[in-house]
Structure 1
Amino acid sequence: MKNLLKTPVLWYKSGSPWIWLNGGAVTLCMLMVIGLLGLIAVRGFGHFWPANIVLTSVTDNAGHKQIIMGEVVRSEVIAAAIARDNGYKIPEEQELLNRYLIKLGNKDITSRDFMWVLENGMDAWQYPRDAVAIERREWGNFYGYLVSINENGKPLLTQDAANFWPEVDARMKRALKLHDDIAHIEKVRIGGINNAIQELKLEHRRLELKGVTGAKMAEAEAGFAERKTALEAEYEVVKKERDVILHEATRDQLVAKTADGKEVVLPLDHLVRVTRPNEMGVFAKTGDYLKRFWEFMTTEPREANTEGGIFPAIFGTFIMVIVMAIMVTPFGVLAAIYLREYARDGVFLRIIRISVYNLAGVPSIVYGVFGLGFFVYYLGGNLDQLFFAESLPSPTFGTPGLFWASLTLALLTLPIVIVSTEEGLSRIPSTIRQGSLALGATKSETLWKVVVPLATPAMMTGLILAVARAAGEVAPLMLVGVVKLAPALPVDGNYPYLHLDQKIMHLGFHIYDVGFQSPNVEAARPLVYATSLILVMLIVILNVTAIKIRNNLREKYRSASD
Structure 2
Amino acid sequence: MKMKVSFSEWAKSGSPWVWLNAGAVAISIIMVVGLLLLIASRGLVHFWPADILQATYSQNNHSIRIIGETVDSERVPATQLRDAGVDVPEGVEEMRRDLMKIGNRDVGGTDFTWVLHDNLSNQQYPEMLFAAERHEWGNFYGYLRALKEGDTVVGQYDGYDKTPEYLALWDKFEASIERAQEIHDSIYQIEKHEIGAINYEIERLRLKQRSLELDGSTDAAAFAEIDARRAELGEEYKVLQDELIDLYGQINRDKIVAEVSGGQTIEIDIAKIVRAFRPNDMGIFAKLGHYGSKLWEFVSDEPREANTEGGIFPAIFGTVLMVIIMSVLVTPFGVIAAVYLREYAKQGFTTRLIRIAVNNLAGVPSIVYGVFGLGFFVYFLGGNIDRLFYPEALPSPTFGTGGLMWASITLALLTVPVVIVATEEGLTRIPRAIREGSLALGATKAETLWKVVLPMASPAMMTGVILAIARAAGEVAPLMLVGVVKLAPNLPLDGNYPFLHLDQKFMHLGFHIYDVGFQSPNVEAARPLVYATALLLVAVIALLNISAVQIRNHLREKYKALEM
Q: Residues 164-220 of structure 1, C-alpha deviation per residue, up to 9 Å, x if partnerless?
A: 12222222111111111100110110001111111111111111122212xx2x222
Q: Alignment partner of 1:248: what SS?
A: helix
Alignment match, 2:129: 131
2:203 pairs with one of 169, 192, 198: 198
One-letter amino acid matched to 1:365: I
Runs (5+) with no aligned partner, structure 2: 158-164
Alignment match, 2:216: 211
Q: Write out aligned runs for 1:304-383 (5 A).
A: 304-383=306-385
Tell me the percent identity: 59
- Are positions 1:14 and 2:29 aligned together? no
Q: Write out aligned runs for 1:465-480 (5 A).
A: 465-480=467-482
One-letter amino acid matched to 2:177: M
**RMSD over aligned Cα atoms:** 1.3
One-letter amino acid matched to 1:245: L
One-letter amino acid matched to 2:359: Y
Q: Write out aligned runs for 1:448-487 (5 A).
A: 448-487=450-489
Rounded Cα–Cα distance in structure 2 between residues aligned with 1:162 and 1:49: 23
- Are positions 1:101 and 2:106 aligned together? no
- Are positions 1:189 and 2:190 aligned together? no
Alignment match, 2:257: 255
Q: Write out aligned runs for 1:48-447 (5 A).
A: 48-61=47-60, 63-159=61-157, 160-213=165-218, 216=219, 218-447=220-449
CA shift for structure 1 position 153: 2.5
Rounded Cα–Cα distance in structure 1 between residues aligned with 2:476 and 2:392: 33
Alignment match, 1:26: 25
Rounded Cα–Cα distance in structure 1 between residues aligned with 2:402 and 2:477: 14
Q: Alignment partner of 1:531: what SS?
A: helix
1:300–1:487 CA contact under 8 A, matched in 2: no
Rounded Cα–Cα distance in structure 2 between residues aligned with 1:552 and 1:7: 49
Q: Which moved more, 1:137-146 or 1:243-252?
A: 243-252
1:313–1:507 CA contact under 8 A, matched in 2: yes
Shift in CA distance, 147/427, structure 1 to aligned 2, threshold 3 Å: same
Q: Residues 319-371 of structure 1, C-alpha deviation per residue, up to 9 Å, x if partnerless?
A: 11011001101000011000100001122111111111111011100000000
Shift in CA distance, 34/487, structure 1 to aligned 2, threshold 3 Å: farther
Rounded Cα–Cα distance in structure 1 between residues aligned with 2:533 and 2:117: 33
CA shift for structure 1 position 25: 1.1
Q: Residues 246-299 of structure 1, C-alpha deviation per residue, up to 9 Å, x if partnerless?
A: 211111111111022211111111110100000001100010011011111111
- Could you tell me the TM-score, scaled by structure 2's length? 0.97
Q: How many matched pairs?
A: 557
CA shift for structure 1 position 7: 5.0
Q: Alignment partner of 1:203: what SS?
A: helix
CA shift for structure 1 position 513: 0.7
Rounded Cα–Cα distance in structure 1 between residues aligned with 2:167 and 2:275: 21
CA shift for structure 1 position 303: 1.3
Rounded Cα–Cα distance in structure 2 between residues aligned with 1:467 and 1:487: 26
Rounded Cα–Cα distance in structure 1 between residues aligned with 2:258 and 2:171: 17
Rounded Cα–Cα distance in structure 1 between residues aligned with 2:6 and 2:148: 88
Rounded Cα–Cα distance in structure 2 between residues aligned with 1:153 and 1:348: 84
- Spell out structure 1 runs of 4+ moving beyond 4 A: none
Rounded Cα–Cα distance in structure 1 between residues aligned with 2:101 and 2:452: 65
Rounded Cα–Cα distance in structure 2 between residues aligned with 1:210 and 1:487: 33
Q: Residues 364-423 of structure 1, C-alpha deviation per residue, up to 9 Å, x if partnerless?
A: 000000000000000000111111111111100000011000010000001000010001
Q: Alignment partner of 1:123: what SS?
A: strand
Q: Which moved more, 1:164-173 or 1:195-204?
A: 164-173
Q: Residues 43-80 of structure 1, C-alpha deviation per residue, up to 9 Å, x if partnerless?
A: 1000000000001122221x121211000001111222
CA shift for structure 1 position 24: 1.5
Q: Which moved more, 1:236-245 or 1:532-541?
A: 236-245
Rounded Cα–Cα distance in structure 1 between residues aligned with 2:348 and 2:246: 76
CA shift for structure 1 position 161: 4.8
One-letter amino acid matched to 1:99: R
Rounded Cα–Cα distance in structure 1 between residues aligned with 2:343 and 2:447: 13
Runs (5+) with no aligned partner, structure 1: none
- Could you tell me the TM-score, scaled by structure 1's length? 0.97
Q: Residues 486-514 of structure 1, C-alpha deviation per residue, up to 9 Å, x if partnerless?
A: 14111111000010000001100010011
Q: Alignment partner of 1:321: what SS?
A: helix
Q: Write out aligned runs for 1:538-553 (5 A).
A: 538-553=540-555
Q: Which moved more, 1:115-124 or 1:171-180?
A: 115-124
Rounded Cα–Cα distance in structure 2 between residues aligned with 1:426 and 1:64: 79
One-letter amino acid matched to 1:530: A
Rounded Cα–Cα distance in structure 2 between residues aligned with 1:148 and 1:498: 49
CA shift for structure 1 position 3: 4.1
Rounded Cα–Cα distance in structure 1 between residues aligned with 2:92 and 2:250: 59
Q: Residues 94-141 of structure 1, C-alpha deviation per residue, up to 9 Å, x if partnerless?
A: 122110000010111101110000124321311111001011111100
Rounded Cα–Cα distance in structure 1 between residues aligned with 2:232 and 2:2: 103
Rounded Cα–Cα distance in structure 2 between residues aligned with 1:128 and 1:259: 13
Rounded Cα–Cα distance in structure 1 between residues aligned with 2:17 and 2:434: 36
